[in-house]
Structure 1
Amino acid sequence: MFKPGPIEPMFNAHMTAEEIAATAFLAGYKGATRALYIGDLRIFFEWCSVNGVRPLGAERVHIEFFARYLEEVRGNGAAATFRRLSVLKGFYRIAEADNRIKHSPMTYVRMPRVVWDENAAMGLDRSQLRQLLQTARAKSTTDAALVILMGMLGLRVSEACSVQIEDFTETQSGHRVLRVMGKGGKPATIPLPMPVLRALEECAGERTAGQLLVTNIGTAMERRSAYRRIKSLGKQAGLPAGLHPHTLRHSAITAALDSGATLRDAQIFARHADPRMTVRYDRNRGNLDRHAAHGLAAYLDDDS
């Protein structure tokens, strides 16, 4: 039976073939993405161990059984299952390129269908986002900075929690800027409008270094803490249930388009590698207003 060892992105002479293959795959990723992929690989490696399968000897049928395990035993939805299988695609693609396997077992695996609800990607509307900002400002300077980083700059929650005070002390081309390390280890420089800069400076207070967002007891704020704060602030602001940090990023992108930003400028703002992702947000803005249901209802109600 295969016994999985630790999956860590560091090479040593005692690693198994599977661990070396995992390390080779993970070498292309950093930060939260790498941590997520390590977790996904660990789930697969542990499943292989229980079922007596060597990951580098797995066949398509094994992957199909693993997919059913994700759905029926772990209770993963289509999106989570799709992502975990996609990680395996990458793992086996690298293993094949490195001649560790002859053919990837993922080639003909049936991927779950993930349905994208375009109308759900809009996030908060202008009045709701304003209400959340007002509630956060009234609560604390930290809450205000947290909401502003995501709701006005479009940062992801991991990016917001990683902001250091030193990251927004520089000036470039006449603008105070924030430097962040984005998804996939891509650096970004973001100009800070005066209301945003003021909120970040108020949050920093007398501190001149260290993580900007801290908890009430002075420890660095993490993703879970940020999630709880956003959920609590949303409840206090009277917003619909289900608010989470990424909702604010959605809201920021949609609001940027509503404010007159071009698709190209919105893509730069959102830091989308694929412009088609930004187009989704643009199309979503008018979906409900232009929906054929309005015209049909008026047509059927017309007594003339």
Structure 2
Amino acid sequence: MQVVPRQVGQVAAGGAAEQVTEVWLANRRLSEHTRAAYRRDVNGWLAWCAQRGADPLRASFLDVNAYARGLEAQQLAPATVARKLSGLSSWYDFLVKLRAVEANPVSGADRPYVSRDHSATLGLTPQEVDALLAAARDAGVRHHAVITLLADLGLRVGELVSLDLADLGWERGHRTVRFVGKGGKARRRALTPDAAAALDTYLQTRGEQPGPLFVTSSGSRLDRHAIFRLIRRLAGVAGIAEAERLSPHSLRHAFATAARAEGVPLEDVQDAMGHADPRTTRRYDRDRHNLDRDPAYTIAAARARRAGG
């Protein structure tokens, strides 16, 4: 059955909630990675309701609270639970607009507190990033290109695996890469000399045929799960502590922290990472509480220069 927007209310009332989900996703500007995550979040809720014989269109905030406590009992991080509830809330907002439900039950639910000043992602020091890059270089040209792009550009893993060969280019003397970022926004980034060199070496073996930039030995697109496994394996080879807890996001955090430590303005790091809110960028900066960066020292040094002048 194909569902069109004017039929959504009728379909939802009939219980075909999965079809409603597809219409909801089709009406939002989302990357394919985000779309898949939202689909998983809603399907998880629908499965929970089905197990209990509950109608998701008659759910209350008490049901959502019970669902959230169940997720927390699985030892999921508060940020993960909050993200799942956020996606579910957006789904219900869509149903409210279509008058399929009277109110959004997630609105009154007890969501876990997530501090904007903390991230559960395990970060990496600059020296650990160097060691990971060295291990990737020894492991092969594709591995080296993947890790270099993550380290030098701070890309999200979904952005990396969605790249096609056609996304590489030149602009005003810069080697560039274009991609669709979070929220469906078209973005472009400059490639560092190391990233460009790693890609050129990889392309000598990949060839120039159109399609996904990073491919498996069978020619299919490399997926995010393969990147997770690659990083953890290479981290183990490099002797990095807690290698099994690392993720592609660890390199994204390392990128933000290193950029701020080298004096890159917050707004430039924010733009590079595609953050709508600078508070998100600050959360990625693991070194922001370093007392060496206290602006009091800068002010005192300026006063001393004035006095000496």
Normalised by the length of structure 1, the TM-score is: 0.83
Deviations 1:191-220 (A, max 9, x none): 122221111111111511332223355543
CA shift at 1:166, angstroms?
A: 2.1
Of 53-62 and 109-118, deviating more is 109-118
Seen in structure 2, the aligned counterparts of structure 1 residues 15 and 94 have a Cα distance that, compared at 3 Å, is closer
| Residue 267 of structure 2 is aligned to residue 267 of structure 1 | no
Share of identical aligned residues, percent? 32
Amino acid at match of 1:266: V
Q: 1:232 to 1:149 in 2, by over 3 A?
A: same
TM-score by length of 2: 0.81
Contact 2:282 2:288 in 1 (8 A): no
Look up the match of 1:299.
none
Partner of 1:176: 175
Give the deviation of 1:177 after TM superposition.
Answer: 1.0
Aligned equivalents of 1:122, 1:16: Cα separation in 2: 41
Q: Aligned pair in 2 of structure 1 residues 165, 24: CA closer, same or farther (>3 Å)?
A: closer
Aligned residue number for residue 252 of structure 1: 255
Gaps of 5+ in 2: 294-309
Q: Deviations over 1:212-239 (max 9, x none)?
A: 2233555432111111111111111111
> Counterpart of 1:66 in structure 2: which amino acid?
Y
Q: Which whole-Å CA distance do the structure 2 matches of 1:91 and 1:219 have between them?
A: 32
Matched, 1:281 2:284: yes
Report the AA paired with residue 40 of structure 2. G
Distance in 2 (alpha carbons) for counterparts of 1:227 and 1:219? 17
Q: For residues 268 and 91 of structure 1, do their structure 2 counterparts lie closer, same or farther at Cα, with a shift above 3 Å needed?
A: same
For the residue of structure 2 that corresponds to 1:239, the secondary structure is coil
CA distance in 1, matches of 2:119, 2:290: 7
Q: Indicate the residue corresponding to 1:102 in structure 2.
A: 102
**Cross-structure match for 1:11:** 3
What aligned pairs does 1:25-64 form with structure 2 within 5 A after superposition?
25-26=24-25, 27-28=27-28, 29-64=30-65
Long gaps (5+) in structure 1: 1-5, 292-304
Answer yes or no: is the 8 Å Cα contact 2:152–2:192 preserved in 1: no
- Which runs of structure 2 are paired with 1:80-91 in the superposition (5 Å)? 80-91=80-91
Q: How many residues align?
A: 281
Q: What's the secondary structure of 2:229's corresponding residue?
A: helix
Counting only pairs closer than 5 Å after superposition, residues 234-249 of structure 1 correspond to structure 2 as: 234-241=235-242, 242-249=245-252
What is the rounded CA distance, in whole Å, between the counterparts of 1:276 and 1:103 in structure 2?
31
Q: Distance in 2 between matches of 1:220 and 1:52?
A: 39
Which string of whole-angstrom CA distances, capped at 9 and with x for unpartnered residues, describes residues 90-117 of structure 1?
1222222222222222232111223567
Amino acid at match of 2:176: V
Secondary structure, counterpart of 1:178 in structure 2: strand
Whether 1:224 and 2:225 are equivalent positions in the alignment is: yes
Over the aligned positions, Cα root-mean-square deviation in angstroms equals 2.7
Deviations 1:234-263 (A, max 9, x none): 111111112221101111121122222111
